[in-house]
Amino acid sequence: MNMNSMTTLATLVIIGLSYVIPVFAPQLRSMGFFALSGAVTNWLAVHMLFEKVPGLYGSGVIPLHFKDFKNGIKNLIMDQFFTAENVSRLMEGETGVLTDKVDFSAAAEAVNYDRIFDGLTETILSSSLGGMLGMFGGASVLENFRSPFKEKTREIIITETASPEFHSMLASSMDTDKAAADIIDKVSSIVQKRLDELTPQMVKEIVQEMIRKHLGWLVLWGGVFGGVIGLAMSFLPH
């Protein structure tokens, strides 16, 4: 038995006692009927939040205005949490931490050092040094430096990308405002997509589940205050 039923049963018991107990019968009867009226009225008001009652205008307000509830949920999420200021502030605070954790050694391994060396060779041969090198074998002379060049260049890339100066420059060069805007757009799209999946029944169940355990107290207090008013009314002259 839930609180609604218990409250209603208690008011009916008080009304019943008023007909069998001669002492304070008018007071008990007035208190019982007013308490029953308060409990039933509050129960009906709660019921009308979630269910459409024929002939009662304004009932079923939650399913009827489920689009407003969905918009309210989205606005709450986006306007209170994922504002441009909040996300930008988070990005600025975390950018340095994130860049410090980036390991560029894998990128260094992916570099095509042969292409770099070939470009360097082509530049040298086309310069004024090209004629001089031609007397000593030209490109074949430079070819002996390919392996040392590749290894040394790789070491330089790894060393430089691991330095604090490089990470500081990388963090300062990141456009946090643009990144924040992209994050907000993606979050908004995800939230909207999920909300579009909600039906009036699902919205009703979500709200009902959130406040279900509190609804019984509305009925209980309706009965209590109704009973107090009824008791006070019983002492007024008729």
Segment 6-26, tens digit of pLDDT: 888 999 999 999 888 888 888
- 3-state DSSP of the chain: CCHHHHHHHHHHHHHHHHHHCCCCHHHHHHHHHHHHHHHHHHHHHHHHHHCCCCCCCCCCHHHHCHHHHHHHHHHHHHHHCCCHHHHHHHHHHHHHHHHHCCCCHHHHHHCCHHHHHHHHHHHHHHCCHHHHHHCCCCHHHHHCCHHHHHHHHHHHHHHHHCCHHHHHHHHHHCCHHHHHHHHHHHHHHHHHHHHHCCCHHHHHHHHHHHHHHHHHHHHHHHHHHHHHHHHHHHCCCC
pTM summary value:
0.49
- Asked if residue 64 lies in contact with residue 50, where contact means CB atoms within 8 angstroms, the answer is no
Domain boundaries, given as residue ranges, for the chain: 3-68+212-234, 105-161
Segment 73-122, tens digit of pLDDT: 888 787 877 777 777 666 655 544 445 555 667 677 778 888 888 887 78
Tell me the pLDDT band of 123, cut-offs 50, 70 and 90: confident
Segment 31-60, tens digit of pLDDT: 999 999 999 988 888 888 888 888 888 788
